[in-house]
Structure 1
Amino acid sequence: MGYKRMTKEDIYEILRRWHAGQNVSRIVEVEKCDRKTIFKYIKKFNEAGFGRDTKLPDKERIWDIFEQKILPSVERHRPASKQLEPLEDIIRDMVQDKKEPLKPKSVYSVLKNNHNVNASYETYKIFVRNKGLTQKPARQMIRIELPAGLETQIDYGKVGLLEYLRTGKNKVVWAFCGVLAHSRLPFIQFVYTQDQKSFVESFIDMFEYYGGVTEIQSIDNLKSGVITPDLYDPKLNKSLQEMIEYYGTFIDPCRVGKATDKGKIERMIPSARELFRVLKKIHPTADIHTLNEHALRWCTEEYGQREHGTTRMPPMEVFEETERETLKKLPEERFEAPIWKPAHVHRGDQFFSFDKLRYSLPEAYKGLDVWVRYTERNKMLRVFLDRRLIREYVVTGKAVNYVPEDFPEGKREMMDGGFPRYLRRKAQVFGEASCKLIESILEPHAYLNCRRAQGILAIMKEYRGKPFYEQVCRRALQRGVKLPRTFKAMLKVEEKQLVLDMGINISELGRQMVRDATYYTN
């Protein structure tokens, strides 16, 4: 078993599978881990006081148990086979050359001479076999039969065009198809979109159609389900992850480009496409909901009653006799599919956007990326940072939504529509003349003159307490001063005059000698 770095999500998934009753062999097969690794995590889990007979703790509790001692923290050294990876295409071209093919053993000699490869022949041989670079005879297909209630295979397929009632124009229609791997009973639902909400809703409709849930859901690496396709560490969409945990099932993404991983559902896509075209001809005016009703009847009454070419039994008969009772029971309440979206909190105004509406967060979150979860039933929007809930909003349709405490007092007043009142209150601190001057500036149009009033308030703060301050404010009010620079110039003139008046010291004798200018003109 090759080395695999274990993450918190990997550990939680292993323990969730084990707690659900899956044996270690099954977990090894799905999670691609060594048996000793799985036993190690189960042992630590038991030592912490948890077992299959106790309730499964939440993710945070499990991560706390394992974070300090268990998670791997070192990288393995690069194996010798790494130097062969850049040469993979060269090896394939030489082995599969149509005119002059070489045996893989001969290719090894060429690589040593021409590319300075120093990996051992055994390493080279394993690399070639793992990459499938050797010439092989024609593949023989082996049919794999699975026990009842184990797996449902799911896939999408493009089926055609249908009028979209909201626009009156034709729109591409996709078929969400599911097949029970044991009984081969299908589920078909036509949809206009493949977004995360539609994907999860189709899953839930399929569960309700079958009346239960299988242990595993094998899906393609569709973006609505799998964010990052990876054989060993696929990242599931958050909405899909919530849904499978709610219904107690598991998602096993298939390998990219490997249709044989879900061969049973691949054969259903052409049938769904043909069914869509037939139903359109029979019901030319039907909408997509009506077509879906006919499609489900076809699955049960026609395809379900027809003898299957592989099992030689009708799918509906096998389902009723052996598979229905093995399915997991559905919860009493239907799961509401949430919408998860990433959002960026802007540095300038500390708002983020969701569905064309804007929401505020405290200043500490400016410039950060958050996750937003929205549920339609209760109109609740929740904001998360590193899986931690930081804010909740009830969506009312307002274009701008904010909490006043997120902003300083000045910005808060402006957002409430009371910024002019805020400026008047600030001016009252500086005196009656100051307040009247600010009111005269705001009077023609409060919001257009807010910047001028802010500038004059800053000047008032600088000159308040000066002996000439009140006199200048009254004079500015009489002259109708509106500009901060004019007001400041008046204050500076008075300040210089004050310096001149206070800078000359005259004795009593000197004062007797002072004459008025008219004394010299007469």
Structure 2
Amino acid sequence: MVKNGEFYMIHEMRKRGMSITRIAQEMGRDRKTIRKWLNKKEPESYQRKVTRLGKLDPFKDYVRRRMEEGCLNARVILEEIKAKGYTGGITTLRVFMKPFRPTVISKTTVRFETDPGYQAQVDWGRFTVDWHGKPKRLYAFVMVLSYSRMMYLEFTEDEKLDTLISCHHRAFEYFGGGTEVMLYDNMKTVVKDRDEQGHPVWNERFSRFASHHGFLLTSCRPYRARTKGKVENGIGYVRKNFWPRVREFKGVDDLNRQAREWLNQVANVRIHGTTHVRPVDRWHEEKLKPMNPTPFAVVDRHARKVSADCLVSFEANRYSVPFRFMGQIVHVQDDKNGRIRIYSGDTLIAEHPKAVQKGQLVINKKHFEGLRPTGQHRVPAPMPKLVDRPAPEVLERNLSVYEQFLDEAVRLQ
């Protein structure tokens, strides 16, 4: 059965003008199956089915693990799983193992070169840093354009699906577009599993992301890591050339600043050992596709209310926003690469380096410009006060005085 992740891939191939026969060859499916799914507008909703477990099903993880360790002898693995309770035969085991076997075991590898703009390769590297006296693991996202060897590097706190999608967005911005095809190893965020025929079962959300931006997904064949040798070499180059240069850093954001300087001043302007041309010069020959301008939902955003002091709390730290958003609900997005972004709706209103310890205050002074500090009020202009006119003073006298004045007036007559 075609999985929902493959549904988006099939429709994307058809949009590019590929024939049903070609799509069937690329996907390893029957043409009737491809035609059936092209006639559907939406993938089928998941329906739980009660399936009967085969005799080998409880032991498949063990078999895969033993093959990853290098044991490809079916008889040896048969003896081991029989000791664990397997009751089936060797034929079932061999059929299961066949898609995971390398078809050619050779010490030599034929180098595969791609056309400009056709392919990019992606992988993660793992690095350990001293984080406040304790070891902490960081993850290096590396994308390499296969034709030019132009490289993008970004350090993150994890390698989850949301982080992977965010890194793709920033890599596309750095390169100025994307390629026709993206090659991955068997990372679980991209390839959920493989079916009985060895075909990849794509992560549905990541497949929708690829279809949204118009690139096709391909994965390395199991145990053939050399098929993505360009990005493997890129990670090795990061480890040998960039990492020894890092003596100290103030946070993941600062580490990425140093990485960007190294990309622009060293990695992408050196004479490449294989092409003998600077990657940045070949990059101008890449025919990269512009990305879909419509945003793809990237990560979960966390709702927060802006306090009276124009701050929002996130993971025991506080970050400033412009004062006009005081009292409103905003959304915090952690890019896991040392940056915190704060949105009001779909509008980015603030961006900060992520605090490296708890209880920190991270502010941008421009967010408070124009805000009158609390407790300080404008001094009013002097205002004259109207008062009642005072009554004249009255001199009080004894009445005998008036009688004396009257007697004197009579005598004068």
Q: TM-score range by the shorter chain?
A: 0.5 to 0.7
Corresponding residue number in structure 1 for 2:192: 228
1:262 aligns with 2:221: no
Corresponding residue number in structure 2 for 1:177: 142
TM-fit CA distance, 1:154: 0.6
Equivalent-residue separation in structure 2 for 1:316 and 1:210 (angstroms): 10
Deviations for 1:456-504, whole angstroms, at most 9, x for unmatched residues?
xxxxxxxxxxxxxxxxxxxxxxxxxxxxxxxxxxxxxxxxxxxxxxxxx
2:113 to 145, 166, 169: 145
1:315 aligns with 2:271: no
Deviations for 1:327-357, whole angstroms, at most 9, x for unmatched residues?
11134455441339xxxxxxxxxxxxxx99x
Corresponding residue number in structure 1 for 2:166: 201
Deviations for 1:216-273, whole angstroms, at most 9, x for unmatched residues?
22223333x23622242423153x3443233222333334443123111111112222
- 1:422-441 to structure 2, matched below 5 A, reads none
Structure 2: runs of 5+ lacking an equivalent: 46-56, 77-86, 302-313, 316-331, 334-341, 347-413
Equivalent-residue separation in structure 2 for 1:235 and 1:25 (angstroms): 21
Corresponding residue number in structure 1 for 2:373: none
Corresponding residue number in structure 2 for 1:156: 124
Equivalent-residue separation in structure 1 for 2:35 and 2:170 (angstroms): 37
The aligned amino acid for 2:279 is: P
Q: Does the aligned pair in 2 maintain the 1:152–1:214 contact within 8 Å?
A: yes
TM-fit CA distance, 1:62: 4.0
Equivalent-residue separation in structure 2 for 1:137 and 1:8 (angstroms): 34
Equivalent-residue separation in structure 2 for 1:145 and 1:219 (angstroms): 16
TM-fit CA distance, 1:30: 3.9
Equivalent-residue separation in structure 2 for 1:15 and 1:94 (angstroms): 38
TM-fit CA distance, 1:212: 0.3
Corresponding residue number in structure 2 for 1:383: none
- 1:61-460 to structure 2, matched below 5 A, reads 61-63=41-43, 93=73, 138-163=106-131, 171-223=136-188, 225-226=189-190, 228-230=192-194, 231-236=198-203, 238=205, 240-281=206-247, 284-320=248-284, 322-323=285-286, 326-332=287-293, 334-339=295-300, 377=343
TM-fit CA distance, 1:92: 6.1
1:10 aligns with 2:28: no
Q: What root-mean-square deviation, in Å, do the aligned CA atoms of Structure 1 and Structure 2 show?
A: 4.9
Equivalent-residue separation in structure 2 for 1:137 and 1:336 (angstroms): 42
Q: Secondary structure at the match of 2:163?
A: helix
TM-score by length of 2: 0.55
Equivalent-residue separation in structure 2 for 1:13 and 1:133 (angstroms): 25
Q: How many residues align?
A: 294
Tell which has more relative contact order, 1 or 2 (C-alpha 8 A, sep 6+): 2
The aligned amino acid for 2:29 is: C
> Structure 1 124/62 Cα, relative in aligned 2: closer, same or farther at 3 Å?
closer
TM-fit CA distance, 1:278: 2.6
> Structure 1 314/242 Cα, relative in aligned 2: closer, same or farther at 3 Å?
same
Q: Does the aligned pair in 1 maintain the 2:141–2:155 contact within 8 Å?
A: yes
Give the structure with the higher percent helix: 1
Q: Percent identity, aligned pairs only?
A: 24
> Structure 1 182/137 Cα, relative in aligned 2: closer, same or farther at 3 Å?
closer
Q: Does the aligned pair in 2 maintain the 1:204–1:335 contact within 8 Å?
A: no
Equivalent-residue separation in structure 2 for 1:148 and 1:237 (angstroms): 28
> Structure 1 160/339 Cα, relative in aligned 2: closer, same or farther at 3 Å?
same
Q: Secondary structure at the match of 2:257?
A: helix
Structure 1: runs of 5+ lacking an equivalent: 46-60, 68-81, 97-114, 341-354, 357-373, 381-522
1:34 to 30, 35, 40: 30
Equivalent-residue separation in structure 2 for 1:327 and 1:133 (angstroms): 32
> Structure 1 124/247 Cα, relative in aligned 2: closer, same or farther at 3 Å?
closer
Deviations for 1:114-158, whole angstroms, at most 9, x for unmatched residues?
x99898xxx999999867599x87443111111221211111111
Q: Does the aligned pair in 1 maintain the 2:140–2:153 contact within 8 Å?
A: yes
